[in-house]
Chain A
Amino acid sequence: GEDVEQSLFLSVREGDSSVINCTYTDSSSTYLYWYKQEPGAGLQLLTYIFSNMDMKQDQRLTVLLNKKDKHLSLRIADTQTGDSAIYFCAGGTGNQFYFGTGTSLTVIP
């Protein structure tokens, strides 16, 4: 399997940018994903990036991938209180996903 690690907590002020980081061990992952989990709810796919890309931008979300360092990050611009949730990064080859520990993002009004 793959080991995927994230920092557990992040607090930001409303309107600021949030950056959630993730490191992984298995470079064979074809895709890398970011999921959002709101309290008591399942997972919502936010975005994903192919392993041969360095960056992907989708509205307020920017994903950066450093393959050399096996580091993935998710930047949320203009963070809102509705962005408060747990964010999981995951690596996968299509049939299996290996999740990070999740980062709990708290947005302070």
Chain B
Amino acid sequence: GAVVSQHPSWVICKSGTSVKIECRSLDFQATTMFWYRQFPKQSLMLMATSNEGSKATYEQGVEKDKFLINHASLTLSTLTVTSAHPEDSSFYICSAKMPGTSTEAFFGQGTRLTVV
């Protein structure tokens, strides 16, 4: 099946610094990618929908200035957590939608962010 790669798998950063997470579709072009956040023992919450070449659409309650999303190419979307704080510590997962289908969305392996 299609592969979506996320990098890094885990990252520890100091409070106040910024962290960039990459999401790549390895064998298909993804016009749409999604970013999710998962708190411990909770479900995935959709943060934003990223469309190639346009601004991301953020879900209600998600600060767009804090979670910067860039989808500059058909195979890469990035999420930058700016001025990270301990409450931003979470598991972030991206997914990429297979073009031309309504059912196929493939998920990355996730990034564990710990802010200390």
Contacts and interface: CB of A to CB of B under 8 A. Distances in A.
Interface in A51-109: 88, 93-102
A48 B103 contact: yes
Interface residues of A, number: 24
Interface residues of B, number: 26
B49 interface: yes
Interface stretch (B13-21, B68-76, B80-88, B108-116): B108-116
15 contacts: A1-B59, A4-B43, A31-B102, A40-B110, A40-B112, A42-B6, A42-B107, A43-B44, A44-B107, A48-B103, A88-B43, A88-B44, A94-B103, A95-B49, A102-B42
Interface of B: 4, 6, 32, 34, 36, 41-46, 49, 59, 93, 95, 97, 102-110, 112
